[in-house]
């Protein structure tokens, strides 16, 4: 029990089923750990303890009675605060929702509960999940467990920090511009961005409570410290949405490789359109060398039939259009007039795009998807950086898109941090992030493992084989 906080969700569920530990004891252990260690991190921002304790006691009683159990029976976990949680304040970091108590669970939360999981707290994020740094006026700032002067990432920053600190064995994140992948990379944990459309996210904020549409590009998926937990999380979360449930079924293709030598791996690790820093280049280069030493084959010259610059441009147009749903019409008109080639102008142009502009970008997206399909005829997965650098220092200046970041001593636009999330995002592809090593500053560096559309099990299998070569999830010094 002393290190229960480091157990995987898979192992914890097995221990509960095997009567090695009770669900109630597991819950109280994690609660005590959060209370002891979360002060300087601020990952956990809202408790739901009364109902969690009742659920844990019921889970233990069901086990004693020999009732049928779900795959996560009795496993306590935290939930990102963008997912509505019945009976528990859910704010998405927005002051206007500071007292919002949903009367139903978001679909991912409902599926986790149906599998036996016990949500006991909510984790922090940026307002309306709209940044790669997690801070808001309701709950304040979440700090990186490896260096509290830096961000844990966003928008699933509280989720990643909670995993890194051993506060939870499993989380559910959302990703439209990298919100699963970036926090996993910054905080040294694992995350899976599913293929678009296979995990319904009804009930996530944004949109506002009651919204029935699901945003273009946006997905939700599991975050964890082991690939086995990512696989289990995806099995629980994936399925039809509310509209297709009567007839739609999902059967993801199986992964064939049992050894890294059986994978056809490509690696696109740097690019003049979004150069990575020396630490990232070293860590990812060393990972490729370890893959090859283990018998793997890595083609560092293979590329899909488009440039990184094109994928980035199309992705950002679609991203800002997808984020424009709640923007007032008067603001849209102002943004249309402000459109230019600056980072703020790119944001303005995408946000103010007319439908005919979106249709043109959607066709460009489909062309990128076709180039990806052709590429993956000869390749199983491709390795990409998650970002051009490790975790950035806190910067809450406004407007967000005028911020600057330092990459190898050079000031670059904040938007450059999105350069490597675009290819998988525009392609609607699965992408699994696992730690690859530590940068020169001792901070985690992740690798993005991207595969063909709907071949989520392939990227997860590759991640399982590769993650051992990267050393697994580093434990922060604060996580005693």
155 given a catalytic annotation: yes
Active-site entry in 80, 122, 310, 316: 80
- The share of the chain scoring above pLDDT 90, in percent, equals 89
Tell which of 354, 370, 386 closes a domain. Answer: 370
Q: Are residues 30 and 170 in the same domain?
A: yes
Residue of 8, 92, 156, 179 with catalytic role: 179
- 276 falls within a domain: no
Each residue of 39-86: pLDDT tens digit? 999 999 999 999 999 999 999 999 999 998 899 999 999 999 999 999
Annotated catalytic residue within 82, 92, 134, 155: 155
* 445 inside domain: no
Specify whether 135 is located in the same domain as 50: yes
CB distance 118 to 170 below 8 Å: no
How far apart are the C-alpha atoms of 249 and 67, rounded to whole Å? 27
Q: Is residue 95 part of a domain?
A: yes
pLDDT at site 209: 93
- Condensed to tens digits (0 to 9), the pLDDT of residues 298-348 reads 999 999 999 999 999 999 999 988 887 666 666 666 666 666 677 767 766
pLDDT at 476: 98
* Per-residue model confidence (pLDDT) at position 1: 74
Same domain, 218 and 339: no
171 inside domain: yes
Three-class secondary structure assignment of the chain: CCCHHHCCHHHHHHHHHCCCCCHHHHHHHHHHHHHHHCCCCCCEEEECHHHHHHHHHHHHHHHHCCCCCCCCCCCEEEEECCECECCECCCCCCHHHCCCCCCCCCHHHHHHHHCCCEEEEEECCCHHHCCCCCEECCCEECEECCEEEEECCCCCHHHHHHHHCCCCCEEEEEECCCCCHHHHHHHCCEEEECCCCCCCCCCECCCCCCCCCCCCCCEEEEEECCHHHHHHHHHHHCCCCCCCCCCCCCCCCCCCCCCHHHCEEEECCCCCCCCCCHHHHHHHHHHHHHHHHCCCEEECCCCCCCCHHHHHHHHHHHHHHHCCCCCCHHHHHHHHHHCCCCHHHHHHHHHCCCHHHHHHHHHHHHHHHHHHHHHCCCCCEEEEECCCCCCCECCCCCCHHHCEEEECCEEEEHHHHHCCCHHHHHHCCCEEEEEEEECCCCCEEEEEEECCCCCHHHHHHHHHHHHCCCCCCCCCCCCC
125 and 33 fall within a common domain? yes
Please write the tens of the pLDDT for every residue from 189-230.
Answer: 999 999 999 999 999 999 999 999 889 999 999 999 999 999
Active site residue 179: yes
Domain residue limits at 34: 4-237
Instruction: Tell me the per-residue pLDDT of 243-299, one tens digit each, with 9 for 90 and over.
Output: 999 999 999 999 989 999 999 999 999 999 999 999 999 999 999 999 999 999 999
Q: Are both 214 and 359 inside the same structural domain?
A: no
Same domain, 195 and 312: no
Domain count, the chain: 2
pLDDT in tens, 406-455: 999 999 999 999 999 999 999 999 999 999 999 999 999 999 999 999 99
Answer yes or no: is 418 within a domain. Answer: no
Q: How confident is the model over 96-150, as pLDDT tens digits?
A: 999 999 999 999 999 999 999 999 999 999 999 999 999 999 999 999 999 999 9
Q: What is the CATH number of the domain that holds 133?
A: 3.90.1300.10
133 and 47 co-located in one domain = yes
**Residue 270: inside a domain:** no
Residue 156: pLDDT over 90: yes
pLDDT recorded at residue 334: 65
In the listed set 370, 385, 401, which residue is the last one of a domain according to the structure?
370
| 214 part of a folded domain | yes
In a domain, 255, yes or no: no
Residue 111 sits in the same domain as residue 213: yes
**Rounded CA separation 430/406 (Å):** 29
């Amino acid at each position: 029990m002393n290190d229960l906080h480091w157990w995987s969700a898979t192992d914890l569920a097995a221990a509960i089923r095997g009567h090695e530990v009770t669900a109630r004891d597991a819950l109280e252990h994690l609660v005590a750990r959060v209370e002891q260690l979360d002060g300087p991190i601020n990952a956990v921002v809202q408790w739901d303890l009364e109902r969690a304790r009742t659920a844990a006691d019921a889970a233990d009683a069901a086990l004693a009675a020999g009732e049928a159990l779900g795959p996560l029976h009795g496993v306590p976990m935290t939930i990102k605060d963008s997912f509505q949680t019945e009976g528990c304040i859910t704010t998405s970091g927005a002051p206007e929702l500071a007292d919002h108590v949903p009367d139903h669970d978001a679909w991912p939360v409902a599926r986790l509960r149906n599998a036996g999981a016990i949500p006991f707290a909510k984790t922090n994020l940026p307002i309306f999940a709209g940044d790669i740094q997690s801070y808001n006026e309701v709950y304040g700032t979440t700090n990186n467990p490896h260096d509290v002067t830096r961000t844990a990432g966003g928008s699933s920053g509280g989720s990643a920090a909670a995993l890194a600190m051993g506060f939870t064995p499993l989380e559910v994140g959302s990703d439209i511009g990298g919100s699963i992948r970036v926090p996993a990379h910054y905080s040294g944990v694992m995350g899976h961005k599913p293929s678009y459309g296979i995990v319904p996210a009804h009930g996530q904020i944004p949109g506002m409570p009651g919204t029935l549409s699901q945003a273009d590009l946006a997905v939700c998926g599991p975050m964890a410290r082991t690939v086995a937990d990512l696989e289990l999380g995806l099995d629980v979360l994936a399925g039809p949405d509310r509209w297709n449930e009567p007839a739609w079924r999902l059967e993801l293709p199986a992964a064939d490789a049992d050894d890294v030598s059986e994978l056809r791996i490509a690696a696109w690790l740097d690019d003049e359109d979004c150069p990575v820093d020396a630490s990232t280049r070293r860590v990812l280069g060393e990972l490729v060398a370890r893959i090859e030493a283990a018998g793997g084959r890595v083609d560092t010259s293979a590329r899909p039939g488009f440039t990184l610059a094109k994928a980035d441009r199309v992705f950002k147009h679609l991203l800002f259009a997808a984020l424009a749903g709640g923007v007032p019409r008067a603001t849209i008109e102002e943004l249309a007039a402000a459109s230019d080639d600056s980072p703020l102008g790119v944001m303005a142009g995408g946000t103010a795009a007319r439908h005919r502009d979106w249709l043109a970008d959607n066709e460009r997206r489909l062309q990128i998807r076709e180039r990806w399909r052709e590429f993956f005829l000869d390749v199983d997965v491709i390795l990409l950086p998650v970002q051009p650098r490790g975790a950035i220092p806190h910067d809450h200046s406004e407007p967000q898109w005028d911020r600057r970041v330092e990459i190898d001593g050079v000031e670059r636009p904040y938007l450059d941090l999105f350069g490597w999330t675009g290819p998988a995002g525009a392609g609607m592809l699965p992408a699994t992030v696992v730690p690859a090593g530590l940068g020169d500053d001792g901070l985690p560096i992740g690798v993005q493992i991207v595969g063909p559309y709907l071949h989520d099990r392939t990227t997860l299998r590759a991640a399982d084989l590769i993650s051992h070569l990267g050393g697994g999830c580093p434990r922060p010094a604060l996580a005693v």
